[in-house]
Amino acid sequence: MTAIDERPAPPEAPEERERKALRISWIDLFLWGIRIAAIIVIVFGLFGSISKFVAGEGLTAQGWRDLIVSSLAQGAMYGLLALGYSMVYGVLGFINFAHGEVFMSGTMVGFIAANWLFENGVWTSNPFLAMFLVLIVAMITSTLVAVLVERIAYKPLRGAPRLIPLITSIGMSFFLQYTFGGLFGVGFNTYPPPPEVIAGSVNIFGIDVRSTQLTVIIIAILSMIGLWYFVTRTRSGRAMRAVAEDKEIAGLMGINVDRTIVLVFAVGGAMAGVAAMMWSLLFRSVNFFAGFLPGVKAFTAAVLGGIGNIAGAMGGGVLLGLFEGVGPLLILGGLGIPGVSQLKDAVAFIALVLVLIFRPSGLFGERLGSEDRV
Amino acid sequence: MRGRPLLHTSYVSDQAIFNSGTKKVLVGLFLLILALMPLGVIPGLKWAATNSWMRVFGEVAVLLIAALGLNILTGLAGQVSLGHAFFMGIGAYTAAILGGPEGPLWGLGLPIWVWLPAAGAVAALVGVVIAPTSLRVRGLYLAIVTLGLVFIGEHLFRNFDFITGGSQSGRTFPPLELKLWKEEAPIVSFQTDGSWFGIELSSQAKMFYLLVAFAIVASLLAKNIQRSRAGRAFQSIRDRDIAAEITGVDEFRYKTLAFAISSGYAGVAGALFAAFVSRTIPEAFGLPLSVEVIAIVLIGGAGIVSGMVLGSLFVIVLPLIVQNLTEWLSDLARSGEGIVQSIADFFVATGTFDFGLISSLPGSSPGLNVFQFNQVLYGLLIVGFIIFEPLGLYGIWVRIRNYWKGWPFTY
């Protein structure tokens, strides 16, 4: 009996090679089929919605405008959260699943602060100070949690295969969820109502916009400008970009790589804290599980915009917000499918799958370090 | 004459499933314990013959099958999939359509030898459809696409309530019994108490035997896949996909194959799981199930079949141990005395205003309740295992084995 039963494969005959070429095109065929189907669905859906709108059924013009603005506000929140995923992926090359829980910790501790301020009357007597304090508390909490997670679960694993920190991040996410659930109770906590100053709506260019949503969009723009300044104009920001580009060479150039990575987590955590504050304005109710879905969607947004690309993350967030807010009603509603607003979450993931099939590097292009570029 | 132990002089003996005497003895012992455990005759393991424990071990066997499937995809071929629960759901609902009781929900009432293979086949087919994405999107993107799959699947399962019964009531799954066709009385029923060969067995014990038999077949199959040409191809794709292609491994074909095998396993496991719990809601096939299976693979040791056995035992039994521990501690805290009582009291909250890490009271009170504590521990264990013992439980076993191999010398 021979020990090894494998012979080298005979050189391929020309027909064989042709067959192989055909098989690759079979995958392409499959992908093209999906693309064409997607386009048909979108075109028909749009057509249906427009005809419905013209016929005066469904939402009014004001209704659509409200929907778009609220989707934008939600998208801005996803965008800020997506920054954390995108930056960590750009530098370390893995998905920090626990980032959603970093956000959740911000909302939970922010709730305690908001409640305390509300009970002491600061919330009503001095609303801007109160909101600022809540923002600071949420940011500090999220930053601390993000840095701690990095220290405990990722630092010992520098240099391990990518899959490994992904799994520890799932573990950390479980740990954080249930620790917070245990510490703060599993029920929903409701933030005090937004202060009077931002309770009404404002008229901008003839469109009525709810003030909370406007506030959220303004905060998002401000923090984006701050982040842009930090990343492009400061020394630490430059160090971060260098580490994202190539860790080894950045180290040789005298950059403290470990400290820079901690900084990346801290900045991502701070942005998650800002997003937590926005959540408190938009949705008000939080529980220990609140980080999961926004986290997954924010990651979707990061991929949508091109992972590792900071501006792309924000753009991807806004697009995802629009897509899941307006998309189901505009496209699926136009096709006459009932109960479309329940489809929100599924639509977000279908959007992701489509983007990955159409344009795997994201809409605005991915920016990866030297090791991740293939 | 006997040569040096563990010296393999031929490829065949090196590649044998049990390539050392120790393995044969240990596996034989393990099987013997499995066979005798439900009878309650093993001293020290009599507690395991109770119905509740039989049920737990049945669940271990089912999740072992699921984990073996994921192990082929993730452990051997290196493709991270978070979508295992989706394939389990596909298998479960295929089984339900084919084998479920006829009634308001779809169900044809066919016997097990139809619905079980069909569950595997349909899930494998869906896996083949998903597989091309794994060529297009690599690594972590694949994890996210498969994560999306779980969400889309959960949504579909919830809305196809004429099959799944919706999330309020769920549906009844086919019973575990052997029939030729649709006749009234089954040849062998695993879900009623009765006697086999003159031994009285509870339904739980019977189901345990059935599921363990399936798990043994699944393990042997997995081990053989690992040793085959396909298994080696999977491992080469895992280690370096470009190098694998250069050496002649057709990446598309083998990735598709890995997906098909893995989701086929998941389908069978899902069908058995559904039949085993007999009634469940669509949410049972959500992300937590996927994470549980991934945890088994990683805690057991990715890529190692015997690791899966250890992993599934660990992951399923751990929550029960924690629960028992909590009960024991709270008993101590209530009735113990001295330092033992104060230590127990530190860990367990027995009253509403009592401080403690774990709370033994229902409802909200300070401290984590048993379920939450389990989840926290679960998360910490995943992190801890990966940081301190990347090879999982199997790695610990290897260290113990190597220590005794050289004993009393240090190396």
Question: If you write DSSP's letter for every residue of A253-282 in order, what string do you get?
Answer: TT--HHHHHHHHHHHHHHHHHHHHHHHHHH
User: Average pLDDT of A225-249?
Assistant: 89
Domain assignment of residue A279, yes or no: yes
| Complex confidence, ipTM | 0.71
User: Contact B376/A175, CB-based, under 8 Å?
Assistant: yes
User: Contact A182/B135, CB-based, under 8 Å?
Assistant: no
Q: Which chain A residues contact residue B147 at CB under 8 A?
A: 296, 349
**Residue A197 touches partner B, C-beta closer than 8 Å:** no
Domain ranges across chain B: 53-284
Q: Which chain B residues contact residue A162 at CB under 8 A?
A: 139-140
- Best residue in B382, B388, B391 for a mutation probing chain A (most A CBs within 10 Å): B382
Residue A136 binned pLDDT confidence (cut-offs 50, 70, 90): very high
Please give the tally of structural domains in chain A: 1
CA dihedral in degrees (B381, B386, B392, B397; nearest 10)? -100
Residues sharing a CB contact under 8 Å with residue A332, sequence separation 6 or more, in sequence order: A45, A340, A343, A347
Q: Quote the minimal CA–CA distance from A183 to chain B in Å.
A: 6
Q: Which chain B residues contact residue A299 at CB under 8 A?
A: 144
Domain assignment of residue A373, yes or no: no
- Position A70, amino acid: S
Residues sharing a CB contact under 8 Å with residue B188, sequence separation 6 or more, in sequence order: B177, B178
Backbone φ and ψ for B177, nearest 5 degrees, come out as: -150, 150
Residue A73 vs residue B407, higher pLDDT: A73
Q: Which chain A residues contact residue B136 at CB under 8 A?
A: 27, 31, 356-357, 360
Question: Which of A153, A160, A360 is the closest to B141 by Cβ?
Answer: A360
User: Contact B148/A170, CB-based, under 8 Å?
Assistant: no
Residue B177's beta-bridge partner residues? B189
Q: Which chain B residues contact residue A179 at CB under 8 A?
A: 368, 376
Between CA B93 and CA B82 the distance in angstroms is 19
Question: Which of A170, A350, A374 is the closest to B291 by Cβ?
Answer: A170
User: Contact A357/B376, CB-based, under 8 Å?
Assistant: no
**Residue B10 touches partner A, C-beta closer than 8 Å:** yes
Chain A residues 70-109 within an 8 A CB cutoff of chain B: 89, 94-95
Question: Which of A167, A178, A345 is the closest to B298 by Cβ?
Answer: A167
Residue B296 · residue B315 · CB < 8 Å: yes
Domain assignment of residue A158, yes or no: yes
Helix (H, G, I), strand (E, B) or coil at B407: coil
- In order along its 411 residues, chain B shows pLDDT tens digits of 456 667 788 888 878 888 777 888 989 999 998 888 888 888 877 778 888 888 899 999 999 999 999 999 988 998 888 889 999 999 999 999 998 887 777 878 788 888 999 999 999 999 998 887 777 666 667 777 788 888 888 888 888 888 888 777 788 888 888 887 777 778 778 877 777 777 778 888 888 999 999 999 999 999 999 999 999 999 999 888 889 999 999 888 899 999 999 999 999 999 999 999 888 888 889 888 888 898 888 888 888 898 899 999 988 887 787 777 777 777 777 776 667 667 766 666 655 555 556 665 555 455 566 677 777 777 787 788 778 877 778 888 888 888 887 777 765
User: Contact A174/B248, CB-based, under 8 Å?
Assistant: no
Within 10 angstroms of residue B88's Cβ, the number of other Cβ atoms is 34
**Helical (H) or strand (E) element with B188:** strand B188-189
Residues sharing a CB contact under 8 Å with residue A338, sequence separation 6 or more, in sequence order: none
Question: Which of B12, B74, B383 is the closest to A171 by Cβ?
Answer: B383
Q: Which chain B residues contact residue A297 at CB under 8 A?
A: none
Between CA A127 and CA A124 the distance in angstroms is 6
Residue at token pair 């005798």: B36
Q: For residue B252, give the chain A residue with the closest CA.
A: A24
User: Contact A179/B152, CB-based, under 8 Å?
Assistant: no
Tokens of A172: 């950390």
User: Contact B381/A352, CB-based, under 8 Å?
Assistant: no
Helix (H, G, I), strand (E, B) or coil at B34: helix
Q: Which chain A residues contact residue B148 at CB under 8 A?
A: 300, 349-350, 352-353
pLDDT in tens, B346-398: 666 655 555 556 665 555 455 566 677 777 777 787 788 778 877 778 888 88
Domain containing A172: what range? 80-307
Q: What is the pLDDT of residue B344?
A: 67
Domain assignment of residue A351, yes or no: no
User: Contact B381/A171, CB-based, under 8 Å?
Assistant: yes
Question: Which of A23, A95, A168 is the closest to B386 by Cβ?
Answer: A168
Question: What's the whole-model pTM score?
Answer: 0.79
Chain B residues 109-138 within an 8 A CB cutoff of chain A: 132-133, 135-138
